[in-house]
């Protein structure tokens, strides 16, 4: 793997036939380090779940689980809509059920603060009770507190805001509510709010919500100013989540598509035959967005450049809520068979070849790579995948000093790829962790 050039990736054209292996500047270091990383064969392979591997967990206390979120205690917490209880499941699958006075058809449950902390502002989990028009709070030890107010009317989605309060949607009254951790409720009305569903904290310091009633996306500042966005590409929006690219991603239930809206209101719509009745969406640890397909009982993944992959399993049944867990997986609620599912988002690399393939996969899923001409992408794909294949044939071990130097070089290349927009910060962090894990092997 020698003889690479230094032409910019964005302007690179197919090489002459006599030089089929000429590559481009930023990827030179990547391939070189990936080839050198054969030295990482420093121990037996460890068991790993391949991306897309689905697991399923059942328990008699699960009754139409709907919302799900990662808790501050390293477990996943979910709402049992028909069981009128709150459930907790560890990453090992142990389930605990918490009933409580005031829990009545709980739907959304609040966790992360704009992708940071996975707890409410007070260390508890917060949820909405649709049937009795109240907001609930549950501590990680299971203590339940219930808050009521005349303005709470059919609460559905809930999230933690950048102001340290909880924000929720009132589906029945077409309003947005705010509740502080001491239970003080404020209600906001505005033009364009119609059957509001999910609500999330955006990257711009405001709250964003979906309006399936009038096919629009709403935005509300922490002071209560409301803006509404309509247009082509928004059709029965339901789920909503902040993405790693600084935009908001949402599900279009009516048209079976995934939408993206920038903080300035520009909408892009992505379609695929496998997207069917998408409901909820969440950012994954792999830099992609993951969503539930309620109508065809599957889990979807979409990169920030719009590439969609679909995952199926007989255990997936009418999935609704989905959230990233602390274990590298996405956890989701199966309303159709009363279970909690988990899908592996990223693979723990066992060999240098796998590390190479994961890195290349992340690069090729980037928006920058997707913007290249098709012939450029195809040629780069052949070179990069060829390098990974070649790694599989290299087995010699390096000295401890060479091993350290190789890992240092690999991390430096990952940093360059991140700075150049080929990897998200989440992807770069994941790849660095994978490299460290293999080194420790």
In DSSP terms, 98 is beta-bridged to: 86
Question: Quick one: 206 and 292 in the same domain?
Answer: yes
Question: Quick one: 326 and 226 in the same domain?
Answer: yes
Cβ density class 22-45: b for 16+ within 10 Å, e for less: bbbebbebbbbbbbbbbbbbeeee
Question: Quick one: 426 and 389 in the same domain?
Answer: yes
Instruction: Report the alpha-carbon distance of residue 428 to residue 419 in Å, rounded.
Output: 10
CB neighbour class for 162 (10 Å; exposed up to 12, middle 13-18, buried from 19):
middle
| Number of domains present in the structure of the chain | 2
Question: Quick one: 340 and 406 in the same domain?
Answer: no
Cβ density class 312-342: b for 16+ within 10 Å, e for less: ebeebbbbbbbbbbbbbbbbbbbbebbbbbb
The percentage of the chain sitting over the pLDDT mark of 70, rounded to a whole number, equals 77
Instruction: Report the alpha-carbon distance of residue 106 to residue 182 in Å, rounded.
Output: 20
- Structural domain contains residue 2: no
In this predicted structure, the answer to whether residue 67 has a pLDDT above a threshold of 80 is yes
- Structural domain contains residue 114: yes
362: closest CA among 436, 275, 304, 440? 304
Contact call for residues 215 and 250 (beta carbons, < 8 A): no
Higher pLDDT, 217 or 344: 217
Could you tell me the residue range of the domain that residue 423 belongs to?
20-47+348-440
Looking at 311, 344, 377, the residue that finishes a domain is 344
Provide the pLDDT for residue 13.
Answer: 35
Provide the pLDDT for residue 342.
Answer: 95
Provide the pLDDT for residue 403.
Answer: 61
Question: Quick one: 354 and 398 in the same domain?
Answer: yes
How big is the CA angle at 234 (ends 325 and 281), to the nearest 5 degrees?
5
- Structural domain contains residue 159: yes
- Structural domain contains residue 5: no
Question: Quick one: 237 and 284 in the same domain?
Answer: yes
Query: What's the pTM value of the predicted model, to 2 decimals?
Result: 0.72
Instruction: Report the alpha-carbon distance of residue 176 to residue 168 in Å, rounded.
Output: 6
- Structural domain contains residue 154: yes
CATH code of the domain in which 292 resides? 2.130.10.10
In this predicted structure, the answer to whether residue 421 has a pLDDT above a threshold of 70 is yes
Longest Cα–Cα distance of the chain, Å, equals 77
Question: Quick one: 24 and 146 in the same domain?
Answer: no
- Structural domain contains residue 71: yes
Question: Quick one: 427 and 335 in the same domain?
Answer: no
Question: Quick one: 26 and 68 in the same domain?
Answer: no
- Structural domain contains residue 251: yes
CB atoms within 10 A of CB 394: 14
- Structural domain contains residue 168: yes
Average pLDDT of span 308-314: 96
The structure tokens 């391939």 sit at: 31
Looking at 344, 360, 380, the residue that finishes a domain is 344
Question: Quick one: 357 and 225 in the same domain?
Answer: no
Provide the pLDDT for residue 385.
Answer: 75
- Hey, what are 207's tokens? 């709250």
Each residue of 254-291: pLDDT tens digit? Answer: 999 999 999 999 999 999 999 999 999 999 988 899 99
Distances (CA, A) of 117 to 86, 181, 437: 20, 16, 25
DSSP string over 238-291: EEEEE-TTSSEEEEETTTTEEEEE-TT--EEEEE-TT--SEEEEEE-TTSSEEE
Question: Quick one: 59 and 175 in the same domain?
Answer: yes
Provide the pLDDT for residue 351.
Answer: 61
Question: Quick one: 302 and 409 in the same domain?
Answer: no
424: closest CA among 310, 304, 262, 328? 304
Provide the pLDDT for residue 360.
Answer: 78
Looking at 293, 317, 344, the residue that finishes a domain is 344
């Amino acid at each position: 793997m020698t003889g690479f050039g230094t032409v910019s990736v964005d302007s690179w054209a197919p090489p002459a036939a006599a030089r089929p292996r000429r590559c481009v500047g930023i990827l030179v270091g990547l391939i070189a380090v990936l080839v050198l990383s054969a030295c990482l064969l420093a121990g037996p392979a460890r068991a790993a779940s391949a991306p897309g591997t689905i697991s399923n967990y059942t328990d008699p206390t699960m009754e139409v689980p709907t919302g799900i979120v990662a808790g501050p205690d390293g477990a996943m917490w979910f709402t049992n809509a028909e069981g009128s209880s709150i459930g907790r499941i560890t990453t090992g699958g142990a389930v605990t059920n918490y009933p409580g006075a005031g829990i009545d058809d709980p739907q959304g449950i609040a966790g992360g603060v704009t992708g940071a902390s996975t707890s409410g502002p007070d260390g508890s989990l917060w949820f909405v009770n649709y049937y009795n028009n109240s907001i609930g709070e549950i501590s990680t030890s299971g203590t339940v507190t219930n808050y009521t107010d005349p303005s709470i009317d059919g609460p559905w989605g809930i999230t933690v805001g950048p102001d340290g309060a909880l924000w929720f949607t009132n589906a029945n009254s077409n309003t947005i509510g705010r509740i502080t951790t001491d239970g003080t409720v404020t209600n906001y009305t505005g033009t364009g709010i119609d059957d509001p569903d999910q609500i999330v904290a955006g990257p711009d310091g405001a709250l964003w919500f979906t309006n399936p009633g009038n096919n629009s996306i709403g935005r509300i500042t922490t002071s209560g100013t409301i803006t509404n966005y309509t247009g082509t590409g928004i059709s029965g929006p339901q789920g909503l989540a902040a993405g790693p690219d600084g935009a908001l991603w949402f599900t279009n239930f009516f048209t079976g598509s995934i939408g993206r809206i920038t903080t300035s209101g520009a909408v892009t719509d992505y379609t695929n035959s496998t997207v069917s009745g998408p409901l909820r969406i969440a950012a994954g640890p792999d830099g992609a967005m993951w969503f539930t397909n309620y109508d065809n009982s599957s889990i979807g993944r979409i990169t920030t450049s719009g590439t969609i992959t679909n995952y199926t399993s007989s255990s997936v049944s009418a999935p609704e809520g989905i959230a990233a867990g602390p274990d590298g997986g996405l956890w989701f609620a199966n309303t159709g068979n009363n279970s909690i599912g988990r899908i592996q988002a990223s693979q723990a690399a066992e060999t240098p070849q796998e590390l190479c393939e994961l890195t290349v996969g992340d690069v090729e899923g980037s928006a920058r790579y997707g913007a290249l001409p098709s012939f450029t992408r195809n040629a780069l794909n052949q070179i990069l995948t060829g390098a990974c294949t070649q790694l599989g044939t290299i087995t010699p071990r390096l000295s401890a000093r060479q091993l350290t130097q190789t890992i240092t070089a690999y991390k430096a290349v990952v940093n360059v790829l991140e700075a150049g927009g080929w990897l998200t910060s989440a992807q770069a962090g994941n790849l660095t962790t994978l490299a460290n894990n293999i080194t420790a092997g």
